[in-house]
Structure 1
């Protein structure tokens, strides 16, 4: 049985709201493509860390609501709908939700907010740090959600600079910048060794 997709006939009429959510952003096959074909450099270790977090969530005594967010690109994009790159890396279980989005902010233009109460704690992982992660974390904080971002469980591309002399900023520096920005805004930064307590802390 496939996972329900928000806004489709496969979506159950009611899903029990949960005060804990694992939100997996844009974890799609295209990010694992060779870098020569547009994949994100260094994505595989991050994919493995996300898999560890997803396994911990699924095995928790009281599992969080697990939501897979899938970015929908345009024709010719690596994440064009119904192409291999668009597919999720981790197949959702029947109890998990799939949300298709077209904007960086996963709450924009989707029904995601109907499934995540404003008081829910959201653990957020995925790709890309300076686009979907940044925008969705910021939106969640604006809603009043507590946001947890795990270092080593999000990734982006190196940033090509068009100002200040040009050049390229390493991806790790971009990720650190976004972590600092989101931390200042109120998000909590966790390490991979913290995941054992994320879903079983209370």
Structure 2
């Protein structure tokens, strides 16, 4: 769960598809928990003037971390960079990624995981970003295409399985 924080999914400035993406993330998380899958929450620590500055409302996670789940904090897009995530995840473990922002933290973390030998599955309807030079949906599709080409699988939330 990459940066599933209030600043991107709740007012005042949620991503354009926040309602749909939030529902898909909740569904995947609920099913992961029911299956007993390992859940890791990644939280971005923005700068003092950012909407996800530590201890601000936007910095808070949307979903509470439950007993047995992990929480790591980061300050760069790659969730593996200096966080100890590589020590939490078994070598080569398959990863199912959901979260924010497609073109920054989701992309960087997926590419880092692939380079470490993980099988990566990105959940198509459970990641998003903001409109920028290109519309958010187009930016997210570009990331999906890039990650597919790098070896990741991209599937809809309805196809996610935790066996």
Report the TM range for the smaller structure's normalisation: over 0.9
Q: TM-score, normalised by structure 2?
A: 0.96
1:179 aligns with 2:144: yes
Instruction: Please name the residue that 2:46 is paired with.
Output: 73
CA contact (8 A) 2:43 2:59 kept: yes
Question: Unaligned 5+ residue runs, structure 2?
Answer: none
Question: Unaligned 5+ residue runs, structure 1?
Answer: 1-23, 161-168
Instruction: Please name the residue that 1:31 is paired with.
Output: 8
Alignment of 1:1-202 (within 5 A): 24-34=1-11, 37-60=12-35, 63-160=36-133, 169-195=134-160, 198-200=161-163
What is the CA–CA distance in structure 1 between the aligned matches of 2:113 and 2:2, rounded to whole Å?
13
Alpha-carbon RMSD across the aligned residues, in angstroms, is 1.0
When the two structures are aligned, how many residues end up with a matched partner? 163
Larger-Rg structure = 1
What is the CA–CA distance in structure 2 between the aligned matches of 1:121 and 1:31, rounded to whole Å?
26
What is the CA–CA distance in structure 2 between the aligned matches of 1:148 and 1:33, rounded to whole Å?
25
What is the CA–CA distance in structure 1 between the aligned matches of 2:60 and 2:15, rounded to whole Å?
16
